[in-house]
């Protein structure tokens, strides 16, 4: 690492430019944050932008203000409060870890990175981030933002998903943590720098506190690093879905496997090119309908699946299973898109 005081420059920049987010202390001079809130925030922030997480974080803490409240809640209620954030395994693991904290640790949260890692669903990054912010432990937390900053500053010709880049970024970040006056501030500063300045596209190098010592900036092409990830192998699915309702309740089914098990969505299945929609509906065995009305198509991407659903409104639905109030269950992202299509079409009439 150059002799430049990277730790001081990055920390100072963060204190002056940090975003006001609901999980951050209003008093920037305080060094520690409440561990439970840090934990919930870090789990929600995995693969989700901060501006999206904010409202969910505040509602979640209102419903589950501490680890005991979260542990006591049924999983279905946790998933319902999580609905919309995606990657629902995070919610299940958060809930399972809360139950373990209550059962095994008497409701007392861990205080070290190693102890946090013993809980379900908490990996190296999350444990380090919590330990640094809530307990002041100088442990590097490396996410995609930190890897991108490290690749550019150090000039590392590595792919974004390469294990070697993760290791190099962790070594670099740990040096900064060891030099930092406040490890919690440094953890947030590195992530903030990648999220707001050293962005994947059009990085704002003129605002970067360490631009003078950035290897890739000196080359004149900061977007060149890190190198692109290996190409994703997509699975394309064409589905036929049906929206049926009685009053304010919808025909919804709980997913038992595949994406988002435990969440609910309207019935849908693989579309057969030689089959009319009426035949698909009859084969599902979900009741009788006077007619099926085409509403349009929705698209959804999840876990390497690119999904296209041809959606039909079921007119005068009779028989079949009991309908469900959508607000009472956790909906998949695909379900919300399908229900929104019904609202948009009806609102345009």
Alpha carbon distance 269, 242 (integer Å): 9
Whose CA is closest to 38, among 48, 25, 27?
25
Among the listed residues 3, 20, 34, 42, the single catalytic one is: 42
CA distance readout (Å), 84 to 52, 88, 154, 333, 342: 10, 9, 37, 6, 18
DSSP 8-state class, residue 144: H
Alpha carbon distance 265, 247 (integer Å): 17
DSSP string covering 288-336:
B-SEEEEEEEEEEEETTEEEEEEEEEEES-BSSSPPEEGGGSPBPHHHH
Whose CA is closest to 113, among 187, 164, 191, 45?
187
**Is 42 a residue of the active site?**
yes
Four-residue CA torsion sign, 37, 197, 149, 223 = positive
- In three-state secondary structure terms, 253 is strand
Alpha carbon distance 37, 60 (integer Å): 10
Query: In this structure, what token pair is assigned to residue 317?
Result: 């639905």
**Maximal CA-CA distance, the chain:** 76
Query: Annotated catalytic sites, by residue?
Result: 42
């Amino acid at each position: 690492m150059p002799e430049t005081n990277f730790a001081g420059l990055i920390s100072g920049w963060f204190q002056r430019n940090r975003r006001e987010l609901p999980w951050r202390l209003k008093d920037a001079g305080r060094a520690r944050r409440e561990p439970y809130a840090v934990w919930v925030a870090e789990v929600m922030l995995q693969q989700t932008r901060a501006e999206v997480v904010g409202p969910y974080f505040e509602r979640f803490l209102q419903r589950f203000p501490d680890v005991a409240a979260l542990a006591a809640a049924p999983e279905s209620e946790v998933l319902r409060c999580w609905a919309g954030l995606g990657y629902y395994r995070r919610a299940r693991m958060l809930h399972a870890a809360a139950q373990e904290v209550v059962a095994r640790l008497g409701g007392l949260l861990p205080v070290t990175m190693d102890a946090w890692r013993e809980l379900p669903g908490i990996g190296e990054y999350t444990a380090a981030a919590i330990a640094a912010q809530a307990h002041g432990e100088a442990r590097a937390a490396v996410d995609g933002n930190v890897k991108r900053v490290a690749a550019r500053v150090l000039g590392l010709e590595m792919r974004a998903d390469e294990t070697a880049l993760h290791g190099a970024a962790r070594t670099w970040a740990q040096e900064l943590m060891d030099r930092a006056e406040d490890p919690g501030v440094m953890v947030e500063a590195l992530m903030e720098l990648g999220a707001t300045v050293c962005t994947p596209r059009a990085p704002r190098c003129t605002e970067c506190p360490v631009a003078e010592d950035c290897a890739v900036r000196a080359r004149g092409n900061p977007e060149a690093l890190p190198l692109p990830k290996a190409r994703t192998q997509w699975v394309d699915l064409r589905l036929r879905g049906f929206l049926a309702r009685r009053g304010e309740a919808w025909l919804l089914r709980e997913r038992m496997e595949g994406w988002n098990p435990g969440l609910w969505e309207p019935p849908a299945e693989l579309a057969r090119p030689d089959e009319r929609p009426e035949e698909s509906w009859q084969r599902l065995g979900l009741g009788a309908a006077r007619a099926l009305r085409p509403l349009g198509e929705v698209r959804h991407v999840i876990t390497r699946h690119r999904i296209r659903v041809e959606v039909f409104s079921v007119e005068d639905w009779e028989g079949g299973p009991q309908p469900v109030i959508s607000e009472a269950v956790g909906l998949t992202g695909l379900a919300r898109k399908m229900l929104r299509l019904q609202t948009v079409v009806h609102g345009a009439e």
